[in-house]
Structure 1
């Protein structure tokens, strides 16, 4: 019977770098592979962020398309859409339904923004590697990189940056759809104060999810670090 070799764990790794079964000439190849993989994840996260934004816009446009189709088919009178109590209940249900459905791309957008920011930090860390090694040569040339080399930049939780603004605006629109749809279904009076309170509460729930996923979840248990490298994640 073939004997299986035991799986290598973090505890079984050598404590000294010179004991690693890797030749110095292979380090650059390993770094190149890691960088390429990180860059591919970075591009995929950026692409997913754009796709989730487009998907959200499509879902949010669906109730308007449904209303236009119903008016064109003369199922609903155009004047009925101008009065709160004359709007059919199924249109309110459509608005609420697509607002709830849009929570899914909202959550995926948060994850895509997180992945995008984290891989950007990883790329900065790779860039820091060659900047440190070549800093004297760069100084002799009178040249400095105009790209960030701080592995703690950019912040994953940055509500005032464009990715954060994108998330927060989507949260506000989602909340508005759900609030209008639910209030219309239960026949509540459409006063501005009630709408503002309900939309505000729903937006706070969305914001809480964003805050937890982008900020609080960073305080997770870190993987084992047998070589005691300094942690550059914050």
Structure 2
């Protein structure tokens, strides 16, 4: 080629193709690094400078620099990914407003004070449901710890479990007993890891093509076997 083709057309600006590849709406990629030792990627992103109103009083806030927040993202090409989000900081100029300063938030990207991005939580839950992955295995793939993964996806799972619409359209149920052999029988409050015997409830409704959904609806503690006295 007589002239090289660059992905980023102008120095110092944002590249729409890099943004499209990373896929975080509203955020622009400003840097990508790779740890050659473990092959993990670190992607630095930021939003464009724009007018922002105070979330409490609505007065136009003053920009006050940026604050870097590190988030675990879904793996890319089998490699762990860390997002460094350079969040904009603002100061409310209204002396009567109780909100002195705040940082930008976007709950479509990550919840406030989250450790994982929203799509990393969705990826982890999909792996649990479809691939029967363990939390520890997911933590290894994400390049983080068991506690970080579980504390991030637990509220999402609890919210989904409390949603009654998940039972809509279910006409056939399957029930299966399961025993976790690596889990002790001690209760969680005594340092155990929860129930050992569980009953899985699965949606076996067939679609218009006759294919079964095989969707896990719930896991409940199995009823203990009745004790019998010898004659």
Structure with more of its chain in strand, by fraction: 2
Say yes or no: TM over 0.5: no
Taking CA–CA contacts closer than 8 Å with sequence separation of 6 or more, which of the two structures ends up with the larger relative contact order? 1
Larger Rg: 1
Name the TM-score class by shorter chain.
Answer: under 0.3
Structure with more of its chain in helix, by fraction: 1
* Structure 1 length-normalised TM: 0.25
